[in-house]
Amino acid sequence: MNYHVIIFVVLSMLSAVANAEVPILENGKPAIQIVVDLRETTPAGAAILKDAGSWLAESLKEASNAEFAVTNELDNQASLIIARKDAWNKVAAAAAFKTDKYDAYAVVTQPSEGRVFVLGNSEESARFGIADLLRRWGFRWFAPSKKWHVAPRLKNLAVDLNFIESPQLVERRIWYAYGMRGDDLQPLMLDYQRWAVANRLTQHGLTRTGHSYGNIIGRNEEAFASNPELSAMKKDGTRDQTSVPNARKFCFSNPDLIELVARDRRQLLESNRRANPAAYMVSVDPSDGQGTCHCKSCQKLGTTTDRVMHLANETAKRLRAEDARAWVGLYAYSSHRLPPTIDVEPNVYVQVALGFNRTQYSLPELVERWSQKVSAIGLREYYGVEAWDWGLPGRARGGRVEYHRKWIPFYAERNLNGVNAETNANWGAQALGLYVASQLLWNPKAEVDPLVNEFFEQLFGDAAEPMRAFYQKMEAAPPLRPATLIPLFEDLETAWRQTNDPAVRARLSELKAYLAYITKFRKF
């Protein structure tokens, strides 16, 4: 082969590579339009897809100052298309996008057509596909605040990606338990929701395990008012008729109660499916707090957990007889924390609460034992509880990188398929830990050190090293004494002197405000 032939072959190869890409940005100008395809969706789903499209356009504008058109109509222009998979079955089939996992998505590039598809099994998963692209392009949402969002500077951008992605865990929730209700706090909640979506955390998940007895009573008030035997018998022989439905327990052995619960949960599941056709689970978890039924029939059922699980089993069997997809969910919590001695139906899902443990077992031992009883378990986590930790350094487990590094992979190997974690709206001590947790919840095998490194390097630049020292001191949960608090202030001052970047200094100012909160709490 002579020299000129070699040159021709190399140029042909380079041309083929270039043609395998679909340009997104060219010299700072949009090279595509963003198409939000609303076929096969519901009104709620349409809102999610529209949000994905506008979010992508806003992010690209932030990075390039380019104005991208967002439309619902597809034409012959080069397009990035966001849609449900079932709106583009042929494209999905050609890409071997076969999984039916709710959170699965595919990115498919068609260079010859000038199209990039982001297809999801659900609207939420299609939006996760957009989050994935933005992450690959260098965008980061480290905390729910624009000051803690990092965007690249982009002039030219092209896509040649073809992949299918899904998480190991079907539920990955981190949510605020206290202090975020009210119209005046709506902007903060919107910031949190964007952070959660950007890090592919569950916003509209399918598992349902919350306390349900109060809801069941409220939906069947007349039946419970006229039939006290549906409610638990107390030790003194009277029936539980507390005026607070959310605290009442049931008579688990009562056949009428079982039929009522099964009928009510079937109706609820049908209602949920009208809003989200993928819904498959309803909760049968007891009301909050301890207690059980002491009638002779219930005592014959076995332990307190056995009694709770008897109702769950009977409900699960009745739902499954009519719908093979139906599941019931509940916590392992309070009086029903210990695993049952009876068998559990295959369509019963349990989230083990990692708080309020008064058993003889450690939490890992409890999870291990429950994993041997049920086909899948989740964790009802407590990353932060205001009344327990007050948002102080190192007190909330959600802020501890080493906690997540150890336990998320540990539990993921033991039938774990979901984490449902409450926390505080306090990010001073939690930003690093919760960012790491969000990535491990998607992929429990993710390497932690690169995540930690990008947190410090991208957020603090030249001041990364003193900020590493700052967060290490916080993770150690220092006592609230001048000898341990003053070094935290000194780390921030060192970081301030090492950077002139206004974005970095804005973050340091927020951390100074957090330290001011700690000193005031100490005085209080």
pTM of the entire structure? 0.90
Cα Rg of the chain (Å, integer): 26
Where are any strands of DSSP class E within 241-284? 281-283
Residue 14 reports pLDDT greater than 70: no
Q: How confident is the model at residue 31 (pLDDT cuts 50, 70, 90)?
A: very high
Cβ proximity of 55 and 130 under 8 Å: yes
Distance in angstroms (rounded) separating the CA atoms of residues 149 and 455: 11
Distance in angstroms (rounded) separating the CA atoms of residues 296 and 309: 17
* DSSP single-letter state for residue 286: P
pLDDT of the residue at 173: 95
Section 207-215 average pLDDT = 94
Taking only the tens place, the pLDDT of each residue in 366-376 is: 999 999 999 88
Alpha helices for 278-362 (secondary structure H) = 296-300, 304-322
Residue 2 reports pLDDT greater than 60: no
Percent of the chain with pLDDT over 90: 85
Structure tokens, 355 = 């708080």
Taking only the tens place, the pLDDT of each residue in 418-461 is: 999 999 999 999 999 999 999 999 999 999 999 999 999 999 99
